Structure 1
Amino acid sequence: MKIYFHLNLTGFSNCYIVANEKTKEALIIDPGIITESIIDQLESNSYKLVAVLVTHNHGSHVHGLKTLTKIYTPKIYGADWEIAGKETNVITGNGKIRLAGMTVQYITLPGHTADSMVYKIGNVFFTGDSISAGRIGSTNSSYSSHILRLNLNEKILSQQENTVIMPGHGPPTTVGAERRFNKDVNYKDLEPSQFAFSSHD
């Protein structure tokens, strides 16, 4: 698996290309803007774009979809039907899908928005705006903030310390770093059984 990072200067959000070198297939996570460098990355490596994953329906993470779908025909996944209307493959809850020859785990993580979703591929979490280096996502109420913290503790920070976090904004980080230094989270070292959630293939 190769991960290519692209910065959307309009919304200062991160867009990722995740490529399978064996199958020469790729997916894009959070296409806030589609630039020539993104297209060149796909074309120069002869990658077939098979899917787009959206962490949540905010403009700086989805504005590039219209441009992208004029050039390619990827399947679009997210928790909000309004991302791409009838073209959206709506996913809810926790589960797994097979895309570009890779297993993609999707985990619902409400708090920042009701439709917030995180994706785990291999040892890497793509977390959108739910968590970034030293911060958690903004919320519109104290209750939403509480729910977000609970979800982060249960579903993200319970993972192995070396699990990489690729956020929607800012630099990459790790689960271990966020446990230690992210004061917004107040991570508690609870028993692993308390973090269990179901998934399906």
Structure 2
Amino acid sequence: MLKINQMELGPVQTNCYIISNSQKECLIFDPGEESKKIIDFLKKKELEPIAILLTHAHFDHIGAIDDLREAYPIPVYLHRLEKDWLGKPNLNGSGKYGMLPDYRMKDADVLLDQEKMLEISTFKMDVLYTPGHSPGSVTYSFGEEGFAIVGDTLFRGSIGRTDLIDGSEKKLLQSIQDSLLTLPEHMILYPGHGPETTPEREKMSNPFLNRF
């Protein structure tokens, strides 16, 4: 059984998820900022990170990846459609806000380009393509474990914004309908911001999804 730890990081409190197995290996999802806080946690729990997985490449989800790669020789996974975003502030959004530094990260090591079963050590997950918030947004679904990491596609009672580069409300709503609301009703959905939810809860109460 996998263990999930959540950390709220950076200026907009992005959820970073650290998922570990019984061998003390772990995956890091969306390390948005505060690399020291992440590294201190890994050391305290005696966890060995083996990969960083990004739901998408907006600045608030990528800020700690280079520091983590300096501390640990681990690969970064990202959808191919956003392969240039890590190093370009005008794409990852950091150049949009004057109070932020420009985020220029090194390229991802593994580019995802299709929906597939992804295996990393003992971790098994389905990669679901869920564009709309950004062109390369993906969801990592751990069906056997009953949870999914959905990034900024869907929130409790809300949906991801679509006014950033290459965002699309039509694609976002289609992604939610086709890929997230079709997951088991009680599956736990862990979003990029805020508390977790379930497909059942969002079908019943999300005002943006009442058409479904």
The TM-score, its normalising length taken from structure 2, stands at: 0.82
2:190 maps to which of 143, 166, 176 = 166
1:155 maps to which of 164, 179, 185 = 179
> 1:157: Cα distance to partner?
0.5
Q: Which amino acid aligns with 2:44?
A: S
Q: Which amino acid aligns with 2:26?
A: A
| Aligned pairs for 1:88-167 within 5 A | 88-121=109-142, 122-140=145-163, 144-167=168-191
Alignment-derived partner of residue 54 in structure 1: 54
Q: Are residues 100 and 4 of structure 1, via their aligned partners in 2, closer, same or farther at CA, if it must alter by over 3 Å?
A: farther
Spell out, residue by residue over 1:128-152, the C-alpha distance to the aligned partner (whole angstroms, 9 max, x if none): 11001001111139x9212211111
> 1:38: Cα distance to partner?
2.0
> 1:93: Cα distance to partner?
2.3
> 1:37: Cα distance to partner?
3.5
SS in 2 for 1:184: helix
Q: What do you get for the CA RMSD once the two structures are aligned?
A: 1.8
Can you give the 5+ residue segments of structure 1 that lack an aligned partner in the other structure? 189-201
Taking the aligned partners of 1:187 and 1:157, their CA distance within structure 2 comes to: 12
> 1:41: Cα distance to partner?
2.4
Taking the aligned partners of 2:197 and 2:54, their CA distance within structure 1 comes to: 20
SS in 2 for 1:115: coil
Alignment-derived partner of residue 5 in structure 2: 4
> 1:89: Cα distance to partner?
0.5
Q: Is the 8 A contact 1:34 1:68 kept in 2?
A: no
Alignment-derived partner of residue 94 in structure 2: none
Can you give the 5+ residue segments of structure 2 that lack an aligned partner in the other structure? 87-104
- Greater than 6 Å deviation, 4+ residue runs: none
Q: Is the 8 A contact 2:35 2:67 kept in 1?
A: no
Taking the aligned partners of 1:35 and 1:13, their CA distance within structure 2 comes to: 13
Percent of residue pairs identical: 28
Q: Is the 8 A contact 2:10 2:60 kept in 1?
A: no
Alignment-derived partner of residue 76 in structure 2: 76
Q: Are residues 151 and 52 of structure 1, via their aligned partners in 2, closer, same or farther at CA, if it must alter by over 3 Å?
A: same
The size of the alignment, in residue pairs, is 186
SS in 2 for 1:173: coil
Taking the aligned partners of 2:70 and 2:115, their CA distance within structure 1 comes to: 30
> 1:36: Cα distance to partner?
3.6
Taking the aligned partners of 1:10 and 1:77, their CA distance within structure 2 comes to: 23
Spell out, residue by residue over 1:39-96, the C-alpha distance to the aligned partner (whole angstroms, 9 max, x if none): 2321222221101110111000001111111101111101122335554200022111
The TM-score, its normalising length taken from structure 1, stands at: 0.86
Q: Greater CA deviation, 72-81 or 160-169? A: 72-81
